[in-house]
A and B are shown apart, each in its own frame.
Chain A
Amino acid sequence: MKVSKLWWLNTLLLLLLLFLFVLNMAGGVIWYSPRLLWQSDHTLAQQIMRTIRLPRALAAMIVGALLALSGQLMQTLSKNPIADPSILGVNAGAMLALMLGSVAGFSLSITNTIWLSVVGATLAFLVVLALAMTRQGLDPLRFILGGTVFSGFISCLAYALSVLTNTTMQFRNLLVGGFSNTNFKQVSFLAVGLLIVLLISLFNRKGFTLMVFDDATARSLGAQPGVTRFIGAIVIVISAGFSVAVAGNVGFIGLGIPAIIHYLHPDSLERNIMPNLLLGASFMLLIDLLAKTLAAPTELPLAALSAICGGVFLFIIIARGSQVTAHE
């Protein structure tokens, strides 16, 4: 069998992921040798590697993959290349729900944070969809504009809430994003979330892929666009909700990672799911590494780093993109 470009891309991205995983584990306030992971010397360093850095790296990986997948799905389902849960207020909704829940007296146990943020993400998504609905159906421009405004609005509410209740420090992780204090219990919840969305996506990959078409064409091919959109929305809110519950509100990934994959390998959603997941996970590992090492021992805000790195990266690609297409 001929080895395709997609195969090469997936292999390279997998190697990149492994490399960044090891690098992320090694990095921190103090750099450790990755060998500590499997050598048994029962030192404090090994304790740190196994109980602090390992869950952190795993969580970063899974959250990166979830955010990239939700962005890719949202872009295909709404036929809009700049749709993304963080732009459309889905992430902010999850964040606000967590804060409201905490103020209302829920203990922020892992189970509570997960269901609160999934509910928040769902409600925010429903509001944005309602804003975008016209008599002719969903208006893509209203979807993006309404979503952006709504996202800003809920973010402001969340900030106001944390200032008023004097909980800015308590919610620091949520507001600026970050993986410090991630534990194995959170990782196992994330893994379950990832498993659920991957299974749903696997079963519906052909249906999701057909959503690049207008509804009439998709229906004529035997698809059910309404049902597919509903299933896609479930994947999006689970992905966004689980991510925010653990890592806070981190933007850019859902927008930038699918854009980069599309630049490297323009193809159908179905065939680009794997590279998208791998690059999302790799990118998050890299950003988390920067967050914990650049200004050690201070932890830098993950959301800001993600936006800066990703923004620069995307800018380079767009700037170069015009030249590349001209040569084709």
Chain B
Amino acid sequence: MNVIVGKNLTIGYGKKTIVDNQSLTIAAGQITGLIGPNGSGKSTLLKALCGINPLKNGTVLINQQPLTAMANKQRAKTIAYLAQTPIVPGDLTVLNLVKMGRYAFYRGLMNRDEQGKAEVQQAMAAAKVDHLANRRIDSLSGGQRQRAFIAMTLAHNSPIIMLDEPTTYLDLTHQLGILNLLKELNLTQQKTVVIVLHDLNQAAQYCDQLICMQHGTIMKTGTPKEVLTAPLLANIFQVKADITYHSERQYPQLQDYETLVQS
């Protein structure tokens, strides 16, 4: 089943058009990776799919419902989004940061939210930051901080999570930690995950589907094995690499990268 459908999407800022007349579908319960070189429009497309960037043209349907017809809070209950470099409110404790993920659920002057406490606890436990609940964000390491933000996005308890390069600026162990966490959430809670990734090997290993973009155009969609082929690597990423396939799961892995750009 397709949970997210984009039809004839044109997205841009002011007069500038970044993504021009593109259509795509994203399947429910899968991890879909958006890949492409810098400036290819991945982040712009992701923000449009979660309703943060307005569309110049086209429609985004979430479960057959137009995104523009959803109220802000309704949208936040359906899709959680984590920006690439969000402003970090260092003064807050992890607990208070995660609680902000419940904003869409507050009702009335007293901000009643019956499930809130349990959801916040679950989100912190899932992102493995429950032991850091009373620590200030300022005092956390990069990996812990990113987990705290992921806990905030989990606190929406939304069926869809979108993340823009959640592993940037983290060391390898923490990158894998975040990706394993997303995989786990996908498997145990059937979350639909849409993620922008730069590392093609990680994208191949963790994603069920890949959408490859260049110059604001979707060039190729499919399984990692279908997308990451030698011609595509050469044309879009301008690299040459040996492609090997994982013995059981058959996802491709690139080795011995070499740039095809003459410097």
Residues of A within 8 A of B (CB): 79, 135, 202-203, 206-207, 209-210, 212-214, 216-217, 219-224, 262, 266-268, 271, 328
How far apart are A24's CB and chain B's nearest CB, in angstroms? 32
The reply to whether A223 and B103 form a contact with Cβ atoms under 8 Å apart is: yes
Chain A min CB distance to B41 (Å): 16
- Which residues of chain A have C-beta atoms less than 8 A from B176's C-beta? none
Using known A-B contacts A221-B100, A222-B76, determine if residue A214 contacts B92 with beta carbons closer than 8 Å: no
> What's the minimum C-beta distance from A249 to chain B, rounded to whole angstroms?
30
Beta-carbon nearest neighbor of A265 in chain B: B91
- Measured between beta carbons, the chain B residues less than 8 angstroms from A221 are 76, 100-101, 103-104, 156
Among B80-88, B123-131, B239-247, the stretch that binds chain A is B80-88
| A203/B81 in contact, CB under 8 A | no
Min C-beta distance of B87 to chain A, whole Å: 5
Whether the Cβ atoms of B86 and A222 lie closer than 8 Å is: no
Q: Which 8 A-B pairs have the closest CB atoms?
A: A222-B76, A222-B104, A220-B81, A266-B91, A222-B73, A212-B89, A217-B86, A221-B103
Q: Which residues of A contact B104 (CB under 8 A)?
A: 221-222
Q: Are A217 and B106 in contact (CB under 8 A)?
A: no
**Alpha-carbon distance A267/B81, docked complex (angstroms):** 24
* Chain A residues within an 8 Å CB radius of B100: 209-210, 213, 221
Q: How far is the CA of A267 from the CA of B99 in the complex (A)?
A: 13
**Chain B residues, Cβ within 8 Å of A79:** 87
Select from chain A the residue with minimum beta-carbon distance to B111.
A206
**5 intermolecular pairs with C-beta atoms under 8 Å apart:** A214-B83, A214-B87, A221-B103, A222-B77, A224-B72
Asked whether, in the complex, the Cβ of A214 is within 8 Å of the Cβ of B72, the reply is: no
Complex Cα–Cα for A207 and B73 (A): 12
Q: Which residues of B contact A224 (CB under 8 A)?
A: 72
A266's partner among B51, B81, B82, B136 (CB-CB below 8 A) is B136
| Given A217-B83, A262-B91; 4 other pairs, CB 8 A cutoff | A219-B51, A220-B83, A221-B103, A268-B92
Q: Which A residue sits closest to B139, measured CB to CB?
A: A328
CA distance A202 to B14 in the complex (A): 36
* Complex Cα spacing A271 to B89, Å: 14
CA distance A212 to B96 in the complex (A): 13
Q: Does B230 contact A (CB under 8 A)?
A: no
**A203–B76 Cα gap in the complex (Å)?**
20
Q: Chain A: which residue is nearest B76 at the CB level?
A: A222
Question: Residue on A with the closest CB to B104?
Answer: A222
Chain B contacts for A203, CB-based, 8 A: 109
Chain A residue with the shortest CB-CB distance to B86: A217
Residues on B with beta carbons closer than 8 Å to the beta carbon of A213: 86-87, 89, 100
Number of A-B contacts (CB under 8 A): 71
Of A202, A207, A214, A220, chain B has the most CB atoms within 10 Å of the CB of A220
- A267 to B50, Cβ gap below 8 A? no
Contacts of B47 in A (CB 8 A): 216
* A contact residues around B82 at 8 Å (CB): 217, 220
B92 near A135: Cβ-Cβ < 8 Å: no
Q: Judge whether B52 is part of the interface by a CB distance below 8 angstroms.
A: yes
Nearest A-chain residue to B153, judged by Cβ: A220
Residues of chain B lying within 8 A (CB to CB) of residue A209: 100
Chain A residues positioned under 8 Å from B101 (CB to CB): 221
Which residues from chain A contact B174 at a C-beta distance below 8 Å?
A: none
Contacts of B75 in A (CB 8 A): 222
Bound Cα distance from A219 to B106, whole angstroms? 15
> Which chain B positions have C-beta within 8 A of A207?
103
Complex interface residues of chain B between 44 and 89 (CB less than 8 A to chain A): 47, 50-52, 72-73, 75-77, 79-83, 86-87, 89
Interface residue from B50, B86, B109 paired with A214 (Cβ < 8 Å): B86
Given contacts A79-B87, A217-B83, contact A206 B76 (CB under 8 A): no
Q: Contact at B52–A216, with CB atoms within 8 Å?
A: yes
When distances are taken between beta carbons in the complex, the residues of chain A under 8 Å from B96 are: 267-268, 271
Given contacts A221-B103, A221-B104, contact A202 B109 (CB under 8 A): yes
Nearest-neighbor residue (CB-CB) of A262 within chain B: B91
CB of B103 within 8 A of CB of A216, answer no
A328 — nearest CB in chain B belongs to which residue? B139
Check A206–B72 contact: CB distance below 8 A: no
Instruction: Kindly state the separation between the CA atoms of A202 and B106 in the bound complex, as whole angstroms.
Output: 14
**What separation, in Å, do the CA atoms of A266 and B77 have in the docked complex?**
29
Chain A residues within 8 Å of B86, by CB: 213-214, 216-217
Contacts of B111 in A (CB 8 A): 206
Determine which of B50, B103, B139, B153 lies in contact with A206 in the assembled complex, contact meaning CB atoms within 8 Å.
B103
Question: Who on chain B is nearest to A227 by CB?
Answer: B72
Q: A214-B83, A267-B91, A268-B92 are in contact. Are A220 and B76 (CB under 8 A)?
A: yes
Q: Is the CB of B89 within 8 A of A219?
A: no
Given A135-B14, A216-B81: A267 touches B87 (CB 8 Å cut-off): no
CB distance from A123 to the nearest CB of B (A): 28
Q: Is B87 within 8 A of A220, CB to CB?
A: no
| Chain A hits for B80, CB < 8 A | 220
Q: Is the CB of B103 within 8 A of A268?
A: no
Name A217's closest neighbour in chain B (CB-CB). B86
Closest to B138 in A: A266
